[in-house]
Chains A and B, each alone.
Chain A
Amino acid sequence: MSSNTLTATGYINHHLQNLTFGQLPGDRGWGLAHTASEAKAMGFWAINVDTMFWSIALGVLFLWAFRKAARRATAETPTGLLNFVEWVIEFIDDNVRGSFSHKNDLIAPLALTLFVWVLLMNTMDLVPIDWIPGIAKWLGIEYMKVVPTTDPNATFGMAFGVFALTLFYSIKVKGPLGFAAELTMQPFQADNKALKVLFIPINFFLEFVSLVAKPISLSLRLFGNLFAGEMIFILIALLFSGGIALALVGGILQWAWAVFHILIVLLQAFIFMTLTIVYLEMAHSHH
C-alpha cells in the first residue's frame, strides 16, 4: 500500500497506477513519476516502465522456451518441452487452417505469438496482487502494475500492429483501387451512376467506422476483461484489512475468482488470436 494513503480509494488508485518514466513537471528533468498527477502531466512522451518490462520479459520467456524446443525439433519421438510446444503449435495451426484460407507464412507465427504472449501476460493476473508490488516497494519502487494487458497501451499496441497488417494486406492483395472500392462501393450498391456517386460517402462512412472499430474493439475487449478482473482482485484484497473474518471471506473469494479467472485469461487470449486471424482473412479475401 502507498505510504501516504491508507484509504480504500488510495489503495485502489495505487494499484491502478503504472510506473511511468518521463519528463517531470516543473523542469525537474527526466525521471519516474511519484504521483498519479505527475504521471498524467508527463503527457504522451512518457513510458510505462512496468508494462514494458513485464511484457518484454514474458515475450522473451515465450520465445526462449519455444526457440529451445525449436532447436531440438526432430522427426523422432518428441519429449518433454518439445512435446508441449508441438501440442501448442498444432493447436494454433489447426485454428489458422480453420479460419484462414489463403497462403501467408506470417499468419500462423503471428497467431502463435499473440496467443502465447497474451496468455502469459494475462496469467500475471493470477499472481496475488500485492506480491510483486510489495517486493517492488521493498526495493524502493513506488508503483508496479504486473499485468501488461490491464494497460491499454499494451493492448492498443498489439491491436495497432494487427491493424497495420490488415491495411497492408488489404492493399497488397486487392490493390489500392480495390481496397478503395471495398470501402466506398458497398454495402449500398446501385446501377445508376448518380446514385452510385451519392452512395460513396455513405458507404465510406459505414465501412470506415467498421474498419476502425476492429482494432479498437479488439484491444478494448482484452483490456476491459483483464482490467475488470484485476479490479475485482483489488476489491477482494481490500477485505484482507478488515479483520480476521473478512480476511477469511476474502481468501475464499480470491481463490474462487482466480479459478474463474483462469477461464477468462485463456479465453481472452484465444479470442484475441482468433479475431486477428479473422481480420486478416477478411483483408485477404475479395468481396
Chain B
Amino acid sequence: MNINATLIGQTIAFAVFVWFCMKFVWPPIVTALNERKARITEGLAAAEQGRQEKAAAEQQALKVTDEAKSQAQEILRRAERREAEVIEEAKVAARVEGERIVAAARSEIDKEVNTARETLRKQVAALAVVGAEQILGREVDSQAHSQLLDELATQL
C-alpha cells in the first residue's frame, strides 16, 4: 500500500484510455444514435403527414361524391322539367292538329252539302221540267224557260 511510481503509470493509463475512448468509441456510437434519432423523428413526421394527407383525401372524396350527387339531382330535375315541357308541347300540338282536322272536315262537309244541294237543285229543276212537260203535254223549251227554272232552283 505504498505510494510509488504506479501513480504515474495509472495516470498515463487513464489518459490513454480517455483519449482512445474520445477518439474511437464515443463519436461513432453517438453519431449513430443521433442519426437514428433523426430517422425516427423523420419517420414520425412522415407518418403524421401521411395521416393528414389521408384525412384531406377523404375530405376531397366526400366533396366529389357530394358534387356528383347534386349534379345527378340537377340532371334528374332538368329531365323532369323537360318531360313536362314535352308533354305540354305534345298536348298543344295535338289540340292544334285536332282543330285543324275538325276544321278541314267541317269545310269538307260544307262543300259536300253545297255540292249535294247544287245537284239536288239541278235534279229538282229537271224533275220540275219533266213534271211541267207532262202537265203541259209538251216539251218545255228548256232554253226558253231556263231563267224561270233557275229561279225556281234557287228558291229550293
Chain A residues proximal to chain B, CB less than 8 Å? 16-18, 20, 22, 39-40, 42-48, 51-52, 55-56, 59, 62-63, 66-67, 69-71, 73-76, 85-86, 89-90, 93, 105-106, 108-110, 112-114, 117, 148, 151-154, 156-158, 160-161
Contact = CB atoms under 8 A, between A and B. Distances in A.
B59 interface: no
A48 to B, nearest CB: 4
B33 A90 contact: yes
A20 B9 CA distance: 13
A51 to B, nearest CB: 5
Given A16-B1, A152-B3, A157 B9 contact: yes
Contact of B7 (A56, A62, A156): A156
Contact of A160 (B7, B21, B24, B25): B7
A89 B33 contact: yes
Contact of A69 (B14, B22, B29): B29
Interface residues of B, number: 32
Given A112-B26, A113-B21, A74 B2 contact: no
B24 A67 contact: yes
Contacts of A75: 32, 35-36, 38-39
Contacts of A39: 2
Contacts of A74: 32
Contacts of A85: 29
Contacts of A18: 1-2, 6
Interface of B: 1-11, 13-15, 17-18, 20-22, 24-26, 28-33, 35-36, 38-39
A161 B2 contact: no
B25 A52 contact: no
A86 to B, nearest CB: 6
A52 B10 contact: yes
Contacts of B4: 20, 22, 42-48, 153
The list of the 5 closest CB pairs from A to B, nearest first, reads A157-B10, A153-B6, A73-B32, A109-B22, A75-B35
Nearest to B40: A75
Nearest to B10: A157
Nearest to B11: A157
Contacts of A106: 18, 22
Nearest to B35: A75
Contacts of A69: 29
B3 A44 contact: yes
A35 to B, nearest CB: 13
B64 to A, nearest CB: 41
Contact of A70 (B2, B29, B36): B29
Contact of B25 (A46, A56, A112, A152): A112
